[in-house]
Chain A
Amino acid sequence: MTTVQTIPLWEVFIRSRNGLAHKHVGSLHAADATMALQAARDVYTRRGEGLSVWVVPSNAITASDPADKDVLFEPTASKIYRHPTFYEVPDEVGHM
């Protein structure tokens, strides 16, 4: 009996009909990229969810550290001038 190897895990991203970017939908196991792509099609597009599929080996993803959340994402909270509602436009000017 050969050593049992774990079949690698892949993350699946699908671009739906509505023209949005590829979105993470879940994961699956497959031995290689070709089979992962086919499995992604079979598992995650059974109801016509997608027009394009990406698969990425799960271990190829580098994620931000949750401990860094404050450092990375807090500072943007004070930059309200990036949002359109920060600016006043008189009603008479209409929609802008």
Chain B
Amino acid sequence: MYTQALNAQEVHGRPVVDPAEEARGARFQARIDAEDRIEPNDWMPEGYRRTLTRQISQHAHSEIVGMLPEGNWITRAPSLKRKAALLAKVQDEAGHGLYLYSAAETLGTSREEMFEQLLSGRAKYSSIFNYPTLTWADIGAIGWLVDGAAIMNQIPLCRCSYGPYARAMIRVCKEESFHQRQGYEIMLTLCRGTPEQKAMAQDALNRWWWPCLMMFGPPDSESQHSDQSAKWKIKRFTNDELRQKFVDATVPQGRYLGLTFPDPELAFDEASGHWRFGTIDWEEFKQVLAGNGPCNRQRMKQRRDAHAAGAWVREAAMAHAQKRARRAAEAAALPEAA
């Protein structure tokens, strides 16, 4: 559930010159404008297919990599109730990754290829998962903040012009509804607990707040993509709009917890009705995206190891299926032979 605008460097499809192609492009855009959903077998511009494949697969990768930082704490969850909820939540992320890979597959790229792109380091995933989960409060902070940021991004995607993506997102958003609440409840319990627990919660907020604001991607002034994606109705709000919505929704929740946001410039602006926040360290964001975050290498290694360790299992399943099919064919052939 963690899509992120990572597309700042992407170059758009080559200019269209063929008039027939141009006419098809115009008809396609007319369908989008009419809020028609585009379906897998429909004609679509190459750029649309490429942009979507990239965005959906990045989104799927984020779900799968996102299982790792939270998965860290499944075995250490401090009560059986928390353990069950966290396991169910991380399992949901696997499900969401699966729905999203399926949606991307309808555009003609197999899951195996997308995995390959992730594991070889060519594909990106949300920067947020390259930060470590150091205490139990991080599980609360991820649910509250990271899932909260993700929801801001994902709700508009339920109306995305590409049918399979929109349908996957509807399912994801429905399932996600408990994730943010379980995170906030963890934070609330810690904030009402011992001084050590409250300090744990504050420390988690301090570490996760800025990376969460980065989740929405580069500022609109630097994002080259938003225009085309907006025209195609893949993206309905800009990075900065979503970021502001998130800040406005989250700050009162944090204050209710009695926590302090690690931003001295954070202040409510009566005139606009928005919370104004300080400057995001975009250099850190670029570094994390470039592979230099605290956990990039570790996360990728864990994914690669799991995939490699599972290869013999997948091969065995296929080999058995083929044996079975062959035996069935032989059994069917027997009476005629006799």
- 0/1 interface trace, chain A 32-74, chain B, CB 8 Å (1 if under): 1001000000010011000000000000000101100000000
B102/A2 in contact, CB under 8 A: no
Find A31's partner among B88, B112, B321 (CB 8 Å cutoff). B321
B99/A6 in contact, CB under 8 A: no
Q: Is B330 an interface residue (CB 8 A)?
A: no
- 0/1 interface trace, chain A 1-36, chain B, CB 8 Å (1 if under): 010111101000000000000000111111110010
Q: Is B207 an interface residue (CB 8 A)?
A: no
Scoring B88, B91, B317 by chain A CB atoms within 10 A of each residue's CB, the highest score goes to B317
- 0/1 interface trace, chain B 92-134, chain A, CB 8 Å (1 if under): 1001001100100100001110000000000000000000000
Find B95's partner among A4, A6, A31, A43 (CB 8 Å cutoff). A43
Q: Is B46 an interface residue (CB 8 A)?
A: no
B41/A7 in contact, CB under 8 A: no
- Inter-chain CA distance A4–B92, complex, in Å, is 28
Give chain B's interface secondary structure class: helix
A35/B317 in contact, CB under 8 A: yes
- Inter-chain CA distance A63–B102, complex, in Å, is 18
B43/A47 in contact, CB under 8 A: no
> Which A residues touch B92, using CB under 8 A?
46
- Inter-chain CA distance A47–B178, complex, in Å, is 12
Q: Is B290 an interface residue (CB 8 A)?
A: no
Q: Is B318 an interface residue (CB 8 A)?
A: yes
A32/B43 in contact, CB under 8 A: no
Find B314's partner among A7, A27, A43, A65 (CB 8 Å cutoff). A7
Number of residues on chain B facing chain A (CB within 8 A):
26
> Which B residues touch A6, using CB under 8 A?
110, 112
Q: Which residue of the partner chain A has the closest CB to B105?
A: A9
A31/B317 in contact, CB under 8 A: yes
A32/B324 in contact, CB under 8 A: yes
Given contacts A28-B98, A43-B98, contact A5 B41 (CB under 8 A): no
Q: Which residue of the partner chain B has the closest CB to A35?
A: B317
- Inter-chain CA distance A32–B315, complex, in Å, is 12
A27/B102 in contact, CB under 8 A: yes
> Which A residues touch B39, using CB under 8 A?
66
Smallest CB separation, B88 vs chain A (Å): 8
A-contacting residues, B235-287, CB 8 Å: none
Q: Is B76 an interface residue (CB 8 A)?
A: no
Q: Residues of A at under 8 Å CB distance from B?
A: 2, 4-7, 9, 25-32, 35, 43, 46-47, 63, 65-66
